[in-house]
Chain A
Amino acid sequence: MRPLALILLLSGVAAPSAALAYAEFQKHIQATSGRNVNCAVCHAHGDGPDGVKPGQVGSLTPAEVDRLNRARIAFEPGQTVDSPILNAFGNHIVFTVGKRQLLALKNDPGALAGRLQETDLDRDGISDGQELRDGTHPLDAQHGDPWKLMKVNTRRYGLHLVLLAVATFLGLYGLGHILRWFGRTAEAAMQGLRDRGRDEP
C-alpha cells in the first residue's frame, strides 16, 4: 500500500484541494508511517473542511459558524475550543498547541507528534502523538499499530487471559481423565453386552 500512497501523493490527487491547509501533516504521516490517512484524523469530514457536506464549512448553522470563529482565534495553547469542522482530536490539538504554533509547525510536521505524547483520547493505550506517527486514528480504540495494541491489551486483559488459560488447562486435564474413565466404563458395558449376547441364543 505504501508505494501506492506515494504515487498518489506525487500525482497530487490524494489530497483534495480543500484540505491543503494542513496537507503537510498528512504528507508527513503518510511518508513516515506508510499508512494512508485522510483529513478525518483531525477534521469532522474525511475530505477536509471545505465543502457542503456534514462537518464542512458550507453546512454550518450560524451558531456553528460562531463556534468556528472562536476556535479560529485560539492562538495560544490552553483554550478549550469546540470547532464544528474539527473532531475531538483536532480540537485537542488546538487546545494543546494553539493555532499560532500549529501554523508554525507546518514547516516541521514531525514535531507535532512530540507535543501530544501526554494524552490518549481513545484510551487504547497508545498516546495520541504515537498514533499520529503510526498513521492510526487517535479517536478509535480499535485502531492502532497492531503490535503496540497487542502489548497494551495483553497487559490490560492479563487477568482475563490468565483465567482463560487456567480454564483451558483445567478443561484439558479434566477432559483427559473423564474420557479415560468413560472409555473404561464403556468398554465394560460393551463387554457386558457381548457376554449377554453369548449367553442368550
Chain B
Amino acid sequence: MNARSHGRPARLVTTLVRFMADRFPMHKLNVEAMIQKKEVPLHKMSWAYYLGGLVLFFFGIQLITGLLLLFYYQPSVSDAHASVEYLTRYVPGGALIRNVHAWSSSAMILTLLVHLITTFAMKAFERPRELTWISGVLLLLITFGFGFTGYLLPWHQIAVSATKIGLGSIELLGQYLPGSLADIPTRVKEAIQGEASVGQATLSRFFAAHVVLLPLAAFAVLGLHLVSVQVHGMSQGVDVPSRRTERFFPFFVLKDASLWGVMFFVLVALALCVPFESFFSYPLFEPYDPLGSTPDGIKPEWYFYFVYYPLELLPFWLVNLLMGAAVGVLLLAPWIFKGTSRKTLRMLAAGAATYLVVITLFGDAIYEMLKGGH
C-alpha cells in the first residue's frame, strides 16, 4: 500500500500533517531555544511585545480575586445582591478585592484590545502564526463573554437591565429571518436565559459560565496561544527586519516582570483609592426589583460601547452585519491580508483604534447630539 493508491484523501492528510508540523514545531520547546537563543527584535514598535504578557497578568489577577470573591458570593436572586453588599461593606478587604477585580477586568480588556490592534498592525498573524492569531481572537471573544456574564452577577438594577437589553437584541434578529426561522433567535435567547425572562435560571447559567465554563475555555485556548507564541518566537513586526535584537532571557523577561510589578502597584492603588462604582448614579446599584420601573442610565460597560452606540444610532440589521463582518475579517485576517504591507495594516489599525477611542469616549455626546431631540 503506498500513498498514491489512496489518491486525493492521502494528499489532504499529508497537507494537514505538514500544516500542523509548520505551526507546531514542538522540537523548539527546549531550554536552548526558549532561554538561550530566543531574541526579541528592537524597533519602534517593540513596546507592543509586552502587551500580551500584560493581558496574562491581568487575567491572573482576575483568577485570584475571582476565587476570593467566590468565598462570599451567593448566586441566587434573593441573596446575590445582599452577599455582594455584605462583602463590600462588612468583610475586611472585601471592597478592595472587589475593586481590584473590577478595575483589572477593564484593564484586561483595554490591554487586550491594544494587543489585538498592534498585533494586527505588525502583521504578526503571518504564516506560520495563523493559529496564534485565531486563538487570540477567540480569547478576545471569551473575554467579552467574561465581561457580559460577570456584569449580571451583582444582581442590581443596571446589571439585570443591561443583561435584558443585551439578550433582547438577540431576539430582534428574528425580524430579519423568514417564516418559521424567525422564531429561532427567541428560542436561542430563552435557551441562554433559561426561562421566559431574566431570573434565577439566568443568574445560575451566567454564574456557571463566568466561573467555570469560560475559565476552562480560556485555559484551553490560552494554552494553545502561549505554546504557539513560544515555538514561533516574536514576529519581526516591521517590514525591514530589525538588526538590533535583545535577549529574551533575562532582559525581556526582566522588563516584563518589572512592568507587571508596576501594574500591580497601579491596580492596587486605584482599587484602594477609587471605588469602581463611584462613577455611576447609585439608583443603578439598588437590588433589582422585577416589579418596579427601570431607572434611567442603563448602559453596558464601557468596553461594549463600540457596539452599543451603533445599535442605538444605526439600523439594527446594519450593525449586526458590520459586527459579523468584523468578526469574520478578524478570524480570516491571516489569509485576507496575506499580501498587505505593514504600512497599510498600520493605517487600518489606526483607523480601527480611532473609531474605538472616539466611540468609547464621545459615544454619549454623539448620541445626545443625534438623538437628543426626543
Contacts and interface: CB of A to CB of B under 8 A. Distances in A.
Q: Do chains A and B touch in the complex (CB under 8 A)?
A: yes
A144 B181 CA distance: 49
A157 B273 contact: yes
A146 interface: yes
Given A153-B274, A168-B261, A176-B254, A142 B88 contact: yes
Given A164-B265, A175-B257, A179-B253, A7 B374 contact: yes
A144 B276 CA distance: 10
Contacts of A40: 282-283, 286
A153 to B, nearest CB: 4
Contacts of B262: 168, 172
B364 interface: yes
Contacts of A160: 272
In this complex, the interface size class of chain B, counting residues with CB under 8 Å from chain A, is: 35 or more
Given A5-B296, A149-B275, A171-B261, 10 more contacts: A14-B296, A37-B283, A40-B286, A137-B282, A146-B274, A149-B273, A153-B272, A164-B269, A172-B261, A175-B258
A145 B282 CA distance: 11
Interface in B34-49: 35-36
14 contacts: A1-B296, A7-B374, A136-B278, A137-B282, A141-B95, A142-B275, A146-B275, A146-B278, A146-B279, A149-B278, A150-B273, A154-B273, A176-B258, A179-B250
A172 to B, nearest CB: 5
Contact of B254 (A146, A157, A175): A175
Interface in A116-155: 135-137, 140-146, 149-150, 153-154
A160 B295 CA distance: 38
A201 interface: no
A190 B249 CA distance: 13
Interface in B323-354: none
B297 A1 contact: yes
Contacts of B374: 7
A142 B278 contact: yes
Contact of B283 (A38, A144, A168): A38
B296 A153 contact: no
Contacts of A104: none
B268 interface: yes
B334 to A, nearest CB: 35
